[in-house]
Structure 1
Amino acid sequence: MALTMTDVDRFESSRPRLEAIAYRLLGSASEAEDAVQETYLRWQATDTDRIEVPEAWLTKVLTNLCLNQLTSARARRETYVGEWLPEPLLAGDPMLGPADSAERRESVSYAVLALLERLTPSERAVYVLREAFDYPHREIAGILDLTEAASQQIFHRAKKHVAEGRARAEVDEAAARRIIEEFLAAATSGRTEPLVRLLTEDAVAVGDGGGKVPARARAFEGAVAVAKFMRGLFKPGPAQRALAGGPVDLYLTSANGGPALVAVVGGRVFGVMCLEITDGGIAAFRNQVNPDKLERATRQWAATDHGTPLLRLF
C-alpha cells in the first residue's frame, strides 16, 4: 500500500524515538536499525487511515519485533564466542536518545545495558519503556498485551534487578577524568601495585572479541587479577603490535553517556573500553573489540573532531 507524504513524514518524525527504544532493547545499533526498518515496512503495508494513534501503533509493532529478536538472540548468544557485550555508541550519536533526566541517561549507560542482559525479554521491554521513555503502565500494558497490574509488577522486579547491580554511586566527570589519567599512568608503568589501588576489590574486566579479535572467554575478577591483565594489555610488545596492525592512539571520550577510552588505529576504531568508575574506585572495564560492533563508532569517529590522543601505544 502506497503511503502518502503525510504518512511518511509521520513515520520519519518517530524514527529517532523508535531507534532509541530498539537500541536499548537489543543492545545493537545495527539490529535496532533493522527493527525500525521492518516497522516501516509494516507501516507501509497497513491501512494507516484506520490507525487512531500512530505513535502507539508504531511503538507496539517495534517492541514486539524486538521481543522476538531478543528471544532468538538468547539462543544465538549461547553459541557466541566468548563474552557478549552491547555495541557502544559514542557521544553525540542520535540513537542514544533523550538525556533530559538521570533515569534516561542511566538507561543507556553501558553498565545498565550489560545488566539488562540478565532480564527476561518482557522485563527488559517494560523497564525500557517505563524508565527511559516514561510510558505510563496503561500504555505499556497495551503494547505488550498485559494487564496494567502485571506491567507494574514486572517493572518493579526489573528495576530491583538493575538496582542490585548498580549499588555504588558513580563519580562526576571531572573526578572520572582524573582517575582515568591516574589509571593510564599506572597501567603504563609496568607495575601492578599502583593499579590495584585504583580498583575496587571486586573489580571486573570483560572483553568482547566475537571470535574475531582475541579476548578472554571469561571475565577477569578481583583487583589483583584485573590489575595484572591491564598491566599486560598496556605493555608494548610484538603481539600487541601485530594484533593492532599499527600504532594505537588512545583517546578519552564518552560512550553511552559514561567515560570511555577509544583506541584508534589508522583512523579506524579498534576498541572502545567503557569504564565504570564509582566512589570506591574503578569497578569495571568493559572492552568492545569485535569489529562488527565498531563499524558505527568508526563512521562517527571519522565525522567528528576528537582532539589529540591522551596516549600513543606500541
Structure 2
Amino acid sequence: MDDGTELARRFEEHRPHLRAVAYRMLGSIAEADDAVQEGWLRLDRTGAGEIENLGGWLTTVVARVCLNLLRSREQRREDPLELRIPDPVVSHQRGVDPEQQVLLADSVGLALLVVLESLGPDERIAFVLHDMFAVPFDEIAPMLDKSGAAVRQLASRARRKVQGRAPAPDPDLSRQRLVVDAFFAATRDGRFDDLVAVLHPDVVLRSDGGPNRPRQSVVLEGARTVASQAVTFGKLAPFARPALINGAAGVAVVVNGKLFSVMAFTVVDGLAVAIDVLIDPERLGRVDLTALDL
C-alpha cells in the first residue's frame, strides 16, 4: 500500500466524525460535505508525517473552514432575523441507518439546529466544538483568535440560548409518534380543539419557504395560532408520510410523487413544543427519500 492510499484510508476513518462536526456547524449537508472535502485536500497537500493527532488536526481544519463559511454567510445576510430551517435528515420511521446515526448522534434535532442558526459564528463554533465534541477551550481559542476564557464565555452564552429555546424531546419515539399522528388526524378532520390539545400553549411553528418564497417563511407562536394555520392546510394531511426527521417523529408530505414539505416535531411531555417546516422546493429537491419506500 503506497503512502497516498494509506493517507486516504486514515482520512476515511475520520470522515463520519468530521461530517457530523460540519453538519452541526453549518446546518447544510452539502456545505458540510464540501468542508470535509476541503479537509481532505489540505491533508493531501500537507501529508500526515508531522501530524501527531490526525483526528484533532482534521477537526481543527474543518472547523476553520466552517467558521469562514459562517462568517461569509452572516455578511451576505441582509436581514439578521432571516429564518432558515437547516437541511433535514429524513429516515424511515423504522429507524435511522448507520451512516445517518453517526451524523445525528447526541439527538441533533432540527429544532436544535434552528437555534444554532441564530448564534453568531464564534458562539456556534465554541458551543459545537466544546459542548457537542468535548474540544477543550484552549484548543478552540486559536481558531477564533481569542483567549480560552473568552471562548468559555462564548460557549456559556450560546448554551443559555440553546437551553432556553431548544428543549430536549421525549426519548420515547412511540410517544412522539402518537402526538404527530393525533396532530394530523385533527388537521385532516378540521378538529380545532383537538389540535390545540396536542400543542403546547407556547408552541412555535417555523416555516422556511426559501429565497423565492419569502411570504412562506414565517414564525407562528401559540397553540391557537398554530392550530388555526394547520386547519387551513388540512387538505394536505392525507399526503403526510410518517418519517423520522433528524431522528425524531415527523412527516414527509409527498404529493404526486413529489416532496412538498418536510415537517419536524419536537415533542416534550406529550405535547408538540416546536414544529419546523421546510417547503423550499430547491432544497427539498436534494432530500434523499429512498429510505421511505415511496
When the two structures are superposed, what TM-score results if normalisation uses the length of structure 1? 0.81
Counterpart for residue 29 of structure 1:
29
Counterpart for residue 58 of structure 1:
58
Alignment of 1:31-110 (within 5 A): 31-78=31-78, 83-91=83-91, 92=96, 94=99, 97=102, 104-105=106-107, 108-110=108-110
* d(CA) in 2 for partners of 1:16, 1:96: 10
Counterpart for residue 204 of structure 1:
204
Residues 1:268 and 1:81: Cα distance change in structure 2 (over 3 Å): farther
Contact 2:179-2:270 within 8 A present in 1 as well: no
Match of 1:274 among 255, 261, 264: 264
Counterpart for residue 119 of structure 2:
119
Extract unaligned runs of 5+ from structure 2.
none
* d(CA) in 2 for partners of 1:290, 1:80: 19
Matched letter for residue 275 of structure 2: F
Residues 1:144 and 1:51: Cα distance change in structure 2 (over 3 Å): farther
Match of 2:276 among 264, 286, 300: 286
* Cα displacement (A) at 1:229: 0.7
Residues 1:142 and 1:18: Cα distance change in structure 2 (over 3 Å): same
Counterpart for residue 242 of structure 2:
252
Deviations 1:7-35 (A, max 9, x none): 11111111111111101000000111111
Q: Which moved more, 1:109-118 or 1:72-81?
A: 72-81
Q: When the two structures are aligned, how many residues end up with a matched partner? A: 288
* Cα displacement (A) at 1:88: 0.4
* Cα displacement (A) at 1:131: 2.4
* d(CA) in 2 for partners of 1:52, 1:138: 17
* Cα displacement (A) at 1:142: 5.3
Residues 1:24 and 1:306: Cα distance change in structure 2 (over 3 Å): same
Counterpart for residue 244 of structure 1:
none
Deviations 1:254-280 (A, max 9, x none): 111211111123444321100122226
Deviations 1:22-52 (A, max 9, x none): 0100000011111111222222222432222
Counterpart for residue 311 of structure 1:
none
* d(CA) in 2 for partners of 1:216, 1:25: 25
Contact 2:177-2:250 within 8 A present in 1 as well: no
* d(CA) in 1 for partners of 2:234, 2:214: 15
Residues 1:272 and 1:99: Cα distance change in structure 2 (over 3 Å): closer
* d(CA) in 2 for partners of 1:29, 1:183: 29
Residues 1:134 and 1:99: Cα distance change in structure 2 (over 3 Å): farther
Residues 1:252 and 1:214: Cα distance change in structure 2 (over 3 Å): farther
Deviations 1:179-232 (A, max 9, x none): 122111110112422212221222222211114457534312222221111001
Deviations 1:73-116 (A, max 9, x none): 1233436997311110123363552666xxx22xx211111111
Contact 2:189-2:234 within 8 A present in 1 as well: no
Extract unaligned runs of 5+ from structure 1.
237-246, 308-314
Contact 1:82-1:216 within 8 A present in 2 as well: no
Contact 1:252-1:262 within 8 A present in 2 as well: yes
- Match of 1:20, SS state, is helix
Residues 1:171 and 1:133: Cα distance change in structure 2 (over 3 Å): closer
When the two structures are superposed, what TM-score results if normalisation uses the length of structure 2? 0.86
Residues 1:7 and 1:167: Cα distance change in structure 2 (over 3 Å): closer
Contact 2:208-2:218 within 8 A present in 1 as well: no
